[in-house]
Structure 1
Amino acid sequence: MKSMDKKVEGLSIKVEDFEVSNNISLAKCSVDVEIWNNYIPISLEIELKDEDIFDNTKIENYIKEFKKHLLWIENNKKAIFDALIKDDMIQLAEEWVESSEETIIDGKKVYVDGEHIFKLPISEEDFYKSLYFNSIGLRIDENKEIADSRIMIEAFIDTNPDYFAGHSMDVTVWDDYRISVDGLAG
């Protein structure tokens, strides 16, 4: 399903969009949606308790829940940013930038990586503005098999300019919107 012209509020997800495997109590689909002013692929997955099966009403209720969590992500960039700051991601970004080629432009020391020119230190404002999602996976697991959590949102966040040279920050959001930063991936 493609919704290239939709923000989360207008996202249309239908029961028919889900690939259902009742024999393993799993349903999943993929959507593209605009979050933080960037279109990204989002994987939606439902895992029911053993021997439970899907029906249309049940999937419709899960769709409402998916939209609620996607809206939370859209509206809580600051909370995710704060978790990245607490985990010293700006400091890590500066370490990556310092591994780039050092040069002098207009009498000031800068770092160059390809077409990107970086100035240090990286301000919180610049870091905040640079954030965008590479991808998001949203899973509802009625068995709570992962970290005793029913909800798991796994997001890979990139920056523009690319402070991490092609790597993404791995962020997980659990039940009750607990945010954990899991380092870099890629």
Structure 2
Amino acid sequence: MDRDKILAEEPDAVIVATGSLPRMDGIQNSNPGEPMSGYDLPNILSSISLLTEGRNWQCSSAVILDDTGHYEAIGVAEYLVGEGVDVTFVTPFTAFGHKVEDALQVEPALERMAKTDGKLKILTRHRIKSISENTVEIAPTYEAPTIEVAGELTVLVTPNMPMRSLYDELHDCIDMVTIVGDANSPRNLQKAIYEGHIAARNI
């Protein structure tokens, strides 16, 4: 649906739930004023691209940036390690998957990956400084020397950006237009369900 098709229906109310897309601009939460260089190279993928578009990669080494601390980056790591890839897992947080510790998703994943002969290396309190064709320069989030690791592929797991253009096109044309879920602000599924429920009840 686009603006013209929606207006042609002459709706009394519209709920916009268009979701969000991966943010691939090189910005990291730990150092937002210092975007990584090389983020636009062809060997950079989002987690969605990696997991939904088939085998659109071929590599023996990969770097994963986990800037969310959730299950998404854990899934990417387990997938690549399971394919025999040497993975360097980089996160600014103090622990691997710290936001899903309470859901008991971390230790089982680590146990499975521990059987892969040291394919996973975890760097907490770190960020990506620059990316090249075969290597990635990694820096601590604090002042310290950088290190270089092998990385034929880099997967960025970052907060998404909202897809709200349809809402912006409609909000002056229809009396009741509500934006919900990730289109409003990327967060978790529970919040999206809640917002959709409230929007529907308010019609």
TM tier relative to shorter chain = under 0.3
- Provide TM-score, normalisation by structure 2: 0.20
Structure number with higher relative contact order (C-alpha < 8 Å, ≥ 6 residues apart):
2
Name the one with the larger strand percent.
1
